[in-house]
Structure formats: C-alpha cells, structure tokens
Amino acid sequence: MPGALPASAGIGLRAPHYAAIAERHPPLAFLEVHSENYFGDGGPALAWLERLRADYPLSLHGVGLSLGSADALDARHLERLQRLVRRFEPALVSEHLSWSSIDGEHANDLLPLPRTRKVAAHVAGRVREAQDRLGRRILLENVSSYLEPPGCEMQEWEFLSEVARESGCAILLDVNNVYVNSVNHGFDPLRYLAGVDPARVAQYHLAGHERGEMGLIDTHATPVSPEVWALFEEVVTRIGPRPALVEWDTDIPALEVLLAEARHAEAILGRAFAQGSESGGHAHRRSQERSAA
C-alpha cells in the first residue's frame, strides 16, 4: 500500500534535476511528476523515475485527463495512468478541475468550467468513474483563470467543494491559483479558505506568478511571491498542515533555488504544527494523517 505523505514539502521533479537529486539526495518529503511525461514504454525518463522512486515517496499529477470535458473519458489515458500507478505506487494521484478537450481535440490549457450545479454533477460523475477505474481516491486541483466562464451559479470554492463532496475525491488546494484568481476576479481569498472543508484538503501547491496585461498569470516561472507566502500562512493556520509542493515548470532554476523554496514552505508548516500543539490543535495533524492515507 502506498504510504501517506508527511505534512512537509516536496518539489516537482523535472529532467534538469534528475542527476543532481540522485547524487545529492536532498531531504525532501516527496517528489511530484506530471503523469503524462512517463506514459511511454521505456526511455531515460522512466529509468530516472525508477531510480529516484527508490529514495523518495511520489505524487503523480495529471494534466491531460480533461475531467471537465463533455467528451467521453479517455480510456487509453486512464489505462496508461493505471499502469503508472501500479508500477510506482504513488502516495497521491491528482488531476485538475478543468477541461482541455472538445470533440477529441486537445488544448494546451487547463480551462475553467462554467460553475453550475449541472456541470458539477457532470464532473463529479467523471471523477467517480476515474476513481473506480484507478481503484483509489484522487485529488482535484483548483486552476487559475483569467476570464469568468459565462452562466456561473456558484463561487469557485462552492463549485470545487460540491464536486469533491459528490465524487468523494480529495482537494489539492493550489494556494497560488487561489491568490491569482482572487486578484483577477476580485474576491477575498479568505472567503475561499472559509468555504473549503479542511477534512477534504489533502495537499497544497505553491508556485510563482507574474503580472500581465489582463491581471496575474500563473506562469510557474518565478519564486513564490510574498503575497502567496502570506496566504499560505493563513491556509495552514486555518486548514492545517498538509504535504506541500513547490511547482516550477518554465525557466527552471538551479536545484538549490527549488530546495530553498521547499525549506520556506517547511518553515511555515512547522510553525503551524507548533501553534497547533500549543493550542491543543493536534486534531489538525490527525486530520492530515487521515486525509493523506
């Protein structure tokens, strides 16, 4: 059985760091990879993952299942994911609350969904189907967006919560995406946090964003901003410590830079543990252990 992750920090594993991590073996709670990058039958990427999996717990993060699409679920994609899950026994398997395909044509973006009860029921059904085929609970991540989809009946946090409740999945709360959307769409990020059931949150993501003409853009190409670190402090205080991942996908820096970001996340998680202990908040820790199991 895949072990539960501690409420500590991991980093996204990217090809430029394979050798450095294997050689230096830095202390990290886990590594996370994009599942689709390892769907092949062989090659160096799979060989590196095999080697590093011997030393670190793993989280598989999918970007291509398009759970919000109206197309039929991609059986071939799910089969490949299932094969990867069996081979590497990840602690966590996650996907996005978004859509990216229509009539079999795939977009490169994780597009936001119209937040209606009908769409929530549709996505929840597809998450249940994916979970049934994989034989395990998955985590669903909130995505960043730049325009409001038409016809929304719910706030973003209400939509995410409804899909999670109806499907029984867990939530991967991307703190940077909450912040980016709060600026782009003008809501209080603390309202978002208050609207999410802490017991469903099983992992956090942290990443960098940049300012563009239409607002903040979730680029994953810069350090986590001071505003997102401040929001992360609020998140761990209100929801509790969970495994937290530092994502960096473009202009990938030296490994030291990523490790420093992970240490920053760990310091915040550690403070939350300490505060929880002082105020009798061990329930947070127990809730985390249950949610990650």
Site of interaction with Fe ion (CB under 5 A)? 174, 205
Tokens of 198: 């802490």
CB of 29 to Fe ion, least distance (A): 17
Least distance CB 246 / Fe ion (angstroms): 10
Q: Which is nearer to Fe ion, 161 or 276 (CB)?
A: 161
Whole-number Å distance between alpha carbons of 101 and 98: 10
Nearer to Fe ion, 133 or 146 (CB): 146
Q: Which long-range contacts (CB under 8 A, 24 or more apart) does 222-227 make?
A: 222/251, 223/257, 223/261, 224/176, 224/261, 224/264, 225/176, 225/179, 227/179
**Smallest distance, Å, CB 63 to Fe ion?**
10
Name which of 17 and 209 has its Cβ closer to Fe ion. Answer: 209
Closest to 148 (Cα-Cα) out of 187, 107, 104: 187
CB of 243 to Fe ion, least distance (A): 13
> Which among 162, 191, 197 is positioned nearest to 178, based on CA atoms?
191
If DSSP codes are grouped into helix, strand and coil, which group holds residue 250? coil
Q: Which is nearer to Fe ion, 5 or 273 (CB)?
A: 5
Token pair belonging to 267: 């310091």
Query: Closest CB to Fe ion among 269 and 276?
Result: 269
- Residues, the chain: 293
Please give the residue whose beta carbon sits closest to Fe ion in the complex: 205
The answer for 117, left when phi > 0, alpha when psi is -120 to 50, beta otherwise, is alpha
Shortest Å distance, C-beta 106 to Fe ion? 19
Structure tokens at 289: 């252990």
- Comparison of 239 and 276: residue with beta carbon closer to Fe ion: 239
CB of 206 to Fe ion, least distance (A): 8
List the Cα angle 129/133/136 in 5-degree steps.
Answer: 95
